[in-house]
Amino acid sequence: NGKIILVGFHTQILARLTGEFVHELRNPLTIIKGFLQLSNYTKEYEKYHPVILSEIERMHTILDNFLTMSLRKCTYKKMNPNELCKQLVALLSAECTVNHVAFDYDIAYTENHCNVDLDKVKQVVINLLRNAMEAFEIKNNENKIILRGSVEDRGYRFSLIDNGPGMDREVLKRLGQPLYTTKSKGTGIGISLCKKIIAEHRGTFCVSSVPRKGTTVSFYLPFVSPAV
């Protein structure tokens, strides 16, 4: 219902969250710029219009919710996980194209539905994607990201798999502690925000990683029980 609640973040963390949302705006901006530049080189530029429009839409959402986004309670809509995946594929393939990273997906079919706050789940996936992008140390055409959708017991799992450098045990252990980052310009907010959003969805969040092989970050959303 769009009601704002305070969730007990420290002012220091709130200040950093503000920075995170400003940072958040850079993604759609980069995509819009990239596609506008790309459209210079093709006659089919009209096919980029939906992407550009949807990115502008996303900036609207982020700006509307600026600062209060993480404090806004989730507002759910019943959604089929395959429909959600379709939207995530559009989002991810656009971002990967711009960043010259290979993208693939593998989506298991389901007729079930989950309760989803679409903007928030997109925010989660964008955070995970950005982490993967930032993790690729050497920029080459071996870099790859996969979106996997799998049916599990009473729910659906969305996994983002990268073949980046992975994390060692120490990083993995501290991951998700608010403000924990290994980057000089990191905020350390991304993963804890993701966890919070997925927990609000009554889902679970899971990270597994093998040094020099890659990282899989996934979240599970429970199915809503079928209507009687």
DSSP calls for 44-78: TGGGGHHHHHHHHHHHHHHHHTTTTTTTBPP--EE
Look up residue 67 and give its two tokens. Answer: 């600062």
Q: Reduce the DSSP state of residue 91 to 3 states and report it.
A: helix
- H/E stretch holding 185 reads none
**Calpha distance 123→14 (Å, rounded):** 17
Least distance from C-beta 153 to Mg ion, angstroms? Answer: 30
Stretch that binds ligand ADP, among 5-13, 59-67, 68-76, 182-190 (CB under 6 A): 182-190
**Calpha distance 148→150 (Å, rounded):** 6
Shortest Cβ contact with Mg ion: which residue?
190
190 is a contact residue toward ligand ADP (CB under 6 A): yes
Stretch that binds ligand ADP, among 7-15, 37-45, 97-105, 124-132 (CB under 6 A): 124-132
- Of the candidates 224, 207, 176, 206, the residue with the CA atom closest to the CA atom of residue 76: 224
CB 20 within 8 A of CB 187: yes
Stretch that binds ligand ADP, among 59-67, 85-93, 138-146, 177-185 (CB under 6 A): 177-185
Q: Which does 149 bind (CB under 5 to 8 A by kind): ligand ADP, Mg ion, none?
A: none
What count of residues does the chain have? 228
178 is a contact residue toward ligand ADP (CB under 6 A): no
192 is a contact residue toward Mg ion (CB under 5 A): no
CB 219 within 8 A of CB 124: yes
Identified binder of Mg ion from the candidate list 34, 81, 164, 190, rule CB under 5 A: 190
Stretch that binds ligand ADP, among 4-12, 41-49, 52-60, 129-137 (CB under 6 A): 129-137
Alpha helices (runs of H) in the chain, residue ranges in sequence order: 11-39, 49-64, 81-98, 118-135, 169-174, 190-200
The interface with Mg ion within residues 115-134 (CB under 5 A) comprises 131
Q: Which does 183 bind (CB under 5 to 8 A by kind): Mg ion, ligand ADP, none?
A: ligand ADP
Q: Which is nearer to Mg ion, 85 or 132 (CB)?
A: 132
32 is a contact residue toward ligand ADP (CB under 6 A): no
Strand 102-107 to 144-152 pairing: parallel
Site string for ligand ADP, 130-169 (x = CB under 6 A): -xx--x--------------------------x-x-xx--
187 is a contact residue toward ligand ADP (CB under 6 A): yes
87 phi/psi in degrees, rounded to 5:
-70, -35
Binding residues (CB under 6 A) for ligand ADP: these are 127, 131-132, 135, 162, 164, 166-167, 171, 175, 180-183, 186-191, 215
